[in-house]
Chain A
Amino acid sequence: MDFAFTDDQLVLGSTVRQVLAEHCPARAVREAGRTGERLPGWPQLARIGMFGMLVAERHDGLGLRLADTILAFEEAGRAALPGPVVETAVIAPGLLPDDLQDRLVKGSLRVSVRLGDQVYAPDADLADLLIVEHDGAIHVLSSDEVRLTPQPGVDPVRRLFSVAAKASRGDSSRGDGVRSRAQAVPVLRAATVAVAAQLIGLARHLLEASVAHAKTRTQFGAPIGSFQAVKHQLADVAIAIDFAAPHVYAAAVAISDGQGETDNLRAAKAAGEADILRAVSAAKAAAGEAAALAARAALQVHGAIGYTEELDLRLWLARVWSLTSAYGDTALHRARLRAAILGDPELRRHP
């Protein structure tokens, strides 16, 4: 089996990187956390087709598999792209009804989600639609059918909201059990892996920024990067990223192998199901740990300016902390992985 990325997959990633370097610089991310443009880079990403990547071809999407697109999510992480990108580009194509899919492809629909292990809906104030799990059924609600309450969160850009349906919701609402919870499970796994890819991208940026700082910042008459204690910290981060990224890519491949199969086929491959479960949890746990380590090392290496409001670094730190706990935190995924390997039913949780 060939795990190397194809030319197309690499170009897809580098295109997203180019677009975001130009249209979503650190300054724009900072502004998104204040009163500025909340979704920098989104119109450009929509134009190149970011939000139709995983939409089926019969809806005019590209019908790609998650493995084809994983580098695009890594680049979104590297740029700390604001907005519900995984929710809109990964979850929505899997759960929205057919008649809404073409709006996804055009990039005119933004979606936030509160499903599975999530307590709050991220970036819900920017969303046109919310996909919400309630009493075991998945509901699709428009933004005027819900009441959003802002919740305290660590990331000023990726804001969290609790979601309550408005009592006045009429019968015309499309909110009644559009999808069952079981249908959401594969979609949630894909989202988990896409978030893991974002964490890898964030970690890569943090490592680059830290290395650059260590080369220019001098102390005791030498660049701090020449001190072993600093070097080792950064080397540990590089190793953690290099070990975590293949887990993420492997999980994307594992999920992609199952994509497009009928439910019957999938049931027949119960053993494959366990592999996917393991791969997804390993990816999220490894990426979360690598990113958390990158964040801690970056904070250390940058010294006393690392945590200041004025330095862009904090935007990346906050995103790491925010995304490590999204779609199951590291501890949960480690527990799931342990349960999947050791078979302890007590530790199994859904999905």
Chain B
Amino acid sequence: MNIVVCVKQVPDTATERKLRSDDKTLDRDAADGVINELCEYAVEEALRLKEAHGGEVTVLTMGPDKATDTIRKALAMGADKAVHLVDPALHGSDALSTSYALAQTLKKIGFDLVILGSESTDARTGMLAAMLAERLGTPQLTLANKVEISGAGITVQRVTDYGFDKVEASLPAIVSVVEKINEPRYPSFKGIMAAKKKQVQTFGIADAEIDAAQVGVANAWSEVADFAVAPPRAAGTVVKDEGDGGVKTADYLASKKFI
């Protein structure tokens, strides 16, 4: 089975994240890049499926040069090879054009199963799996907390507000996973050293037959109109109890329409 895992490099959530003042896109140089946490669960699930059913795990990422760190991490966990889609023309692509670029690349490299994290910690649209499925004409099985494969069929438990749905489809398919699905492994020292020797293929937009007029910040369907620094938190109201503390508290809550 040919499993492709889409991973994304995101700015470290522990550091301050910034937008660029010129084109209002994410300033990827301002913060350390790390692998998106949910992508680690996707990689882990792919590795478990490979261990159970055989096959090969390919990591696919779209991002600038420094996204190779993220590829390296996924390879160290045990993925077999990687494809890095990198091109200046892709800078500032929104979810729609990203899904187009990834779909084009996936058509090139081929797949039986594509696994993604359900969302990234930076953009948080959570739409990529659905968009990819639409563009590739394959079933989408999103928000999975359990994945089972038998023959050419795939069954997932889809997390919902009321519990879970059981969703069945046939391969090839697109799956997005939630963090309850597994516990990602740490890369072993052996894996870290082996990762260097694994094949990382670099694709430009021409290699994946991506139309430059459909990607990039200028062609994005969504755009950041304006942004401002989050205001500092205002000081709280202190109620001094002089026998009427309860009344004052209630008045305050009422003024905020809580009661």
Contacts and interface: CB of A to CB of B under 8 A. Distances in A.
A19 interface: yes
Interface in A51-70: 52-53, 62, 64
A62 B186 contact: no
Interface in A1-39: 7-8, 11-12, 15, 18-19
A53 B192 CA distance: 12
Nearest to B76: A11
Interface in B169-221: 185-190, 192-193, 196
Contacts of B189: 12, 15, 48-50, 52-53, 62, 64
B76 A47 contact: no
Majority secondary structure of chain A interface residues (helix, strand, loop or mixed): helix
B95 to A, nearest CB: 30
A329 to B, nearest CB: 32
Contact of B190 (A7, A11, A62): A62
20 contacts: A7-B72, A7-B196, A8-B192, A11-B72, A12-B192, A15-B186, A15-B189, A44-B186, A47-B185, A47-B188, A48-B186, A48-B187, A49-B188, A49-B190, A52-B189, A53-B189, A62-B189, A62-B190, A62-B193, A64-B189
Interface residues of A toward B: which range? 10 to 19
Interface residues of B, number: 11
Contact of A8 (B185, B186, B188, B193): B193
Nearest to A49: B189
Contacts, number: 35
Majority secondary structure of chain B interface residues (helix, strand, loop or mixed): helix
A62 B191 CA distance: 11
A18 B186 CA distance: 9
A17 to B, nearest CB: 11
Contacts of A48: 186-189
Name the 6 nearest CB pairs between A and B, nearest first.
A49-B189, A48-B188, A49-B188, A48-B186, A11-B192, A19-B186
Contacts of B192: 8, 11-12, 15
Contacts of B76: 11
Contacts of B187: 11, 15, 48
A239 to B, nearest CB: 26
A105 B185 CA distance: 18
A52 B191 CA distance: 13
Interface in A186-234: none
A8 B196 contact: yes
A49 B193 CA distance: 12
B190 to A, nearest CB: 6
